[in-house]
Homo-oligomer: A and B are copies of this chain.
């Protein structure tokens, strides 16, 4: 068995593209959100809170990005009856609120990106716009 496996990491150029694309989409649809990019270990790589956003959105958005990076799924997948227990088991970092997406490169999850602070559908639109700014073939 090999000692190491090839992977990729998110550059800050990619992070800046995601922030900029997310902000552009948020402005276009007229919402005030926070955006967060985390790496494969859930560590914050980039963050922005829009002027006028609810400041709790900084925390909830970061948790969406962390959840997607760990669980390798868009947030919102869990059956509702499991959510509270999962939140506690994952030390409060798990969230089931849509708006977080894994960043997948060559079939591997290398991080997560999320938007939060608006309506759920709007958060999803903004996060998808951020994700679309990078090439994740």
| Chain A residues near B (Cβ < 8 Å) | 1-17, 19-20, 23, 39-51, 54-56, 58-60, 63, 67, 69-72, 83-85, 87-97, 105, 110, 134-136
Contacts and interface: CB of A to CB of B under 8 A. Distances in A.
Contact of A51 (B10, B17, B91): B10
A65 to B, nearest CB: 12
B46 A49 contact: yes
B16 A20 contact: yes
B2 A11 contact: yes
A51 B9 contact: yes
Given A46-B47, A105-B4, A55 B41 contact: yes
Contacts of A59: 89-91
A8 B12 contact: no
A59 B39 CA distance: 16
